[in-house]
Amino acid sequence: MKLYYVPRTRATRPRWMLEELGVPYELVRLDPSKGETRTPEHLARQPLGHVPALEDGDVTLFESAAICLWLAERFPEKGLVPPPGTAGRAAAYQWLFFAETELEPPLGEISRQNRRPEAERDAAAIADARKRFLAAAAALEAPLARNAYLLGGAFTVADLVAGACTSWGKALAGGLDGLPSVEAWLGRLKARPAWKRATAD
């Protein structure tokens, strides 16, 4: 199994999943500054030249949440996704899509603005994006006030993907004021040995 990877990108999510699973894998580090994500070989794996991409036998897959769900399903004995056809599996789908469609899009806008020279940044666009992210993050507060993790008492792929997005958002938005249960959840996630290994670089 090979994970094509650039540090401090969405590729950290499947790396974290692989570390949680404790299965053997090869981490293939790519350097975008050297054009390594634009080679014909990598574009055959990921047509936009992004990371992550996973090769797992005869399966080649891109998109971080899709890879994380695939890996959780590949190793059901690890307990990182509820069984198919259960209410828990439905909830996992819900929070995975929520992370990708509600938590993450405003963060992309903030990140794009921050890459511009300071004089060219759109302060109103940044403020709006922060507001949208915090509104989305607030939706996590009630379930996390009831339970340690999104699906109940156990860590799952839903926590991994939503947690990775929320951690990025906390950094970009300047905090998570008024969301103590979300803050405590992030603390639990970041205390996990697999998180520490996956984010070491």
Q: In whole angstroms, what is the distance from residue 21 CA to residue 91 CA?
A: 21
In this prediction the pTM is: 0.95
User: What percent of the chain clears pLDDT 70, i.e. is strictly above it?
Assistant: 100
Domain with residue 94: its CATH number is 1.20.1050.10
Residues 143 and 124 in one domain: yes
Tell me the Cα Rg of the chain.
Answer: 17
Choose the final residue of a domain: 60, 78, 96: 78
DSSP string, 17-73: HHHHHT---EEEE--GGGTTTSSHHHHHHSTTS-S-EEEETTEEEESHHHHHHHHHH
Average pLDDT over the chain, rounded to an integer: 97
- Give residue 184's domain range: 87-193
* Domain assignment of residue 69, yes or no: yes
**97 and 68 co-located in one domain:** no
Instruction: Average the pLDDT over 166-180 and give the result.
Output: 95
Tokens of 187: 């603390």
Q: For 15-40, how does the pLDDT look when each residue is reduced to its tens digit (9 = 90+)? A: 999 999 999 999 999 999 999 999 99
Residues 41 and 66 in one domain: yes
Pairwise CA distance, residues 17 & 70, whole Å: 10
Residue 7: pLDDT above 90? yes
Residues 55 and 92 in one domain: no
Claim to verify: residue 127 and residue 183 sit in the same structural domain: yes
Domain assignment present for residue 199? The answer is no
Clarify whether residues 93 and 160 are in a common domain: yes
Stretch 84-106: mean pLDDT? 98
**130 occurs within a structural domain:** yes
Which pLDDT score is estimated for 165? 97
Instruction: Examine the domain organization and report whether 73 and 98 are in the same domain.
Output: no
The reported pLDDT for the residue numbered 201 is: 86
CA-to-CA dists, residue 137 to 19, 22, 37, 89, 177, angstroms: 25, 29, 32, 21, 10
Instruction: Answer whether residue 44 shows pLDDT above 90.
Output: yes
pLDDT digits (tens, 9 = 90+) for 111-153: 999 999 999 999 999 999 999 999 999 999 999 999 999 999 9
Query: Are 106 and 166 found together in one domain?
Result: yes
Q: Are residues 91 and 74 in the same domain?
A: no
Q: Are residues 96 and 155 in the same domain?
A: yes
Residue of 88, 95, 109, 98 lying closest to 172 (CA atoms): 109
Number of domains forming the structure of the chain: 2
